[in-house]
Amino acid sequence: MILVTGGCGYIGSHTCLALLRAGEEVAALDNYSNSKPEALVRVQKLANRPFPFEEADLRDETALRRVFEQHQIHAVIHFAGLKAVGESVQKPLEYYDNNVAGTVTLCRVMRDFGCKRMVFSSSATVYGSGNPSPLTEDMPTGQVTNPYGRTKYMLEEILKDICAADPEFSAVLLRYFNPVGADESGQIGEDPRDIPNNLMPYISQVAVGRLSRLAVFGNDYDTPDGTGIRDYIHVSDLASGHVKAVEYANRQTGARIINLGTGRGTSVLELVAAFERANGVKVPYAISPRRPGDVDVCYANADKARRILGWTAQMSVDDMCRDSWHWQSQNPEGYR
Ligand code: NAD
Ligand code: UD1
């Protein structure tokens, strides 16, 4: 059985669905600090298969042990963590405690139960601002500018150390680019608690009338239209990447770092135009000052994922816009 920590969250819920559809046995664990159990109720309906999900906090070792005692877990896909960059600057201790200490506790329990396979959610943020795109996995990391990014960098290093100490341990460290979109059913999707920080949920909430207009953070970057370029990847493609990654973790040992991106960059204004075109809606926007900490261009070299996992992203930017809108327009208040 595969344990999915943070399984109720945005990427976790889509990955549970992909695993169930691939015929895997799945258990999910979440403390619901940034999600609602309704997401997993919907995943069960979509997959037409019940599966166990437990309310537990990563840092609660007793609760974790109970989960490992109840289920025969051979691999963990580890999404659970806090992810808001700005909040991490205000609350560094919460981020180090939740993300770093929580993962250390999880690894200790895995060791005690002889579970030696992990797929970990890292982020393209570990590349910092010093590396040119397309970003390759062998580029230097560690020059991150905020506590959230530092937790990802530290956890990559910790997992490499665990692999070095135990030759049977297998860790696949996935560096995600910018996950967007939703399952094509429109039943599950991204449900930010407050005003969104990220571009696609902001655009969707403007389009649905929850927010009045998008602030485009800077049009004086060194890019063709002056706005920032990112590698947006459909969350269902990302989820299928995890199905491949956990299969790969079963076949190999040691630490492997793999980008999950499309290898293509899209600017803010291109994404707005694609969203309007794909959905026949208007997205009013105004140019605002740059957001501190943003880089001009960030996209993946996606060759390693193709070579090692046999995985490439299939869905276009228009698919991402259509599915984000499908979710948002059917669920204007998210899971509430
Ligand atoms: P999310 O917030 O939707 O999901 C994370 C889930 O983990 C939530 O359901 C939350 O309730 C749960 N959680 C948090 N702390 C926990 C704890 N201590 N114990 C148990 N559960 C806990 O976020 P997401 O977008 O699905 O991201 C999943 C992972 O991928 C995170 O680790 C995130 O840092 C990483 N990541 C996300 C992005 C992105 O843009 N979404 C990009 C790069 C990396
Ligand atoms: C951000 C985080 C990154 C994290 C990622 C996924 C920062 C500095 N970086 O990445 O660490 O891994 O989210 O959670 O927060 N934009 C606007 N208006 C908006 C929102 C965004 O113009 O209201 C622009 C940004 O300037 C950027 C692009 O849209 O050019 C994408 O922004 P966003 O979705 O926040 O992702 P990242 O900045 O790439």
Query: What pLDDT is stored for residue 1 in this prediction?
Result: 98
Query: What pLDDT is stored for residue 145 in this prediction?
Result: 87
Query: What pLDDT is stored for residue 265 in this prediction?
Result: 98
- Quote the CA–CA distance of 98 and 80 in Å, as a whole number: 9
For the Cβ of 11 lying below 6 angstroms from any atom of ligand 2, the answer is no
Query: What pLDDT is stored for residue 293 in this prediction?
Result: 87
**Which residues form the catalytic set?**
148
With pLDDT > 70 as the criterion, what percentage of the chain qualifies? 100
Total-model pTM: 0.97
Query: What pLDDT is stored for residue 193 in this prediction?
Result: 86
Low-confidence stretches of the chain (pLDDT < 50) are none
Nearest listed ligand to the Cα of residue 214 = 2
For the Cβ of 58 lying below 6 angstroms from any atom of ligand 1, the answer is yes
Query: What pLDDT is stored for residue 114 in this prediction?
Result: 98
Q: Whose CA is nearest to atom 4 of ligand 2?
A: 125
- Quote the CA–CA distance of 87 and 91 in Å, as a whole number: 6
Spell 8-29 as b/e; 16+ CB within 10 A means b.
Answer: bbbbbbbbbbbbbeeebebbbb
Query: What pLDDT is stored for residue 209 in this prediction?
Result: 92
